[in-house]
Amino acid sequence: MIRDQQVFSNGSLLWQDAPAAELTDFLRRGYDRFSGQYPKFHKMDALSKLGWLAAEVLLRTAPVEDHLPEQVAIVLSNRSASLDTDLRYYNTVKDIPSPALFVYTLANIVIGEICIRHGFKGEHIFFTTGGFDAQQVMAYAQILLDTGVATACICGWVEVMEQQYEAVLYLVERQQREESRPFTVAEMNNIYDLRF
């Protein structure tokens, strides 16, 4: 979970940045702390950087090496789609449109960046809703798991709008591990609503 310049995993604070840090500075320092060896990160928009960083943190404690790349799915959602980047791109249209920003004017690009980094080739979808909709995310992920399309699914919420941001990702597996939380709407809402 990433909120308010803080990074959590399994309820424990992993790292905290300066309280007044700008989003771009926070993401850069988070990248240095949790990865640091992926030059493509610097070309991404803020939404992709945030989702990518959240996936890096998640996969440290919830590895997916036991799953085939074709069977790792991703189901994400947010409120603003790619509006933060769309507005930045629109501002460049007045002079010379930025192709570097245009690439990120779809919210699902964050999924592509996560997949490229980790070699995932499974099904994926990005929902845009008024708020975190655990029922929708769970229903879609459960279909993928029940039908055998996926054996693991990264689910969650990745939202960026100007300096407001949050990312909450979790891994669901068809064969639930002993230490994992149950895959229910109530539990997903609990994870999302956690305030530390």
Distances (CA, A) of 54 to 4, 61, 155: 14, 12, 11
165 in Cβ contact with 46 (< 8 Å): yes
pLDDT at position 195 is 44
For the full predicted model, state whether its pTM sits above 0.85: yes
Tens of pLDDT, residues 41-70: 999 999 999 999 999 999 988 889 999 999
pLDDT at position 196 is 33
Q: What is the dihedral of CA 67, 72, 76, 81, to 10 degrees?
A: 140
| pLDDT per residue rounded down to tens, the chain (196 residues) | 777 777 877 767 778 787 778 999 999 999 999 987 899 999 999 999 999 999 999 998 888 999 999 999 999 999 999 999 999 999 999 888 899 889 999 999 999 999 999 999 999 999 999 999 999 999 999 999 999 999 999 999 999 999 899 999 999 999 887 777 888 899 888 888 864 3
pLDDT at position 146 is 97
Residues 6+ apart with CB under 8 A from 5: 16, 17, 18, 19, 21, 26
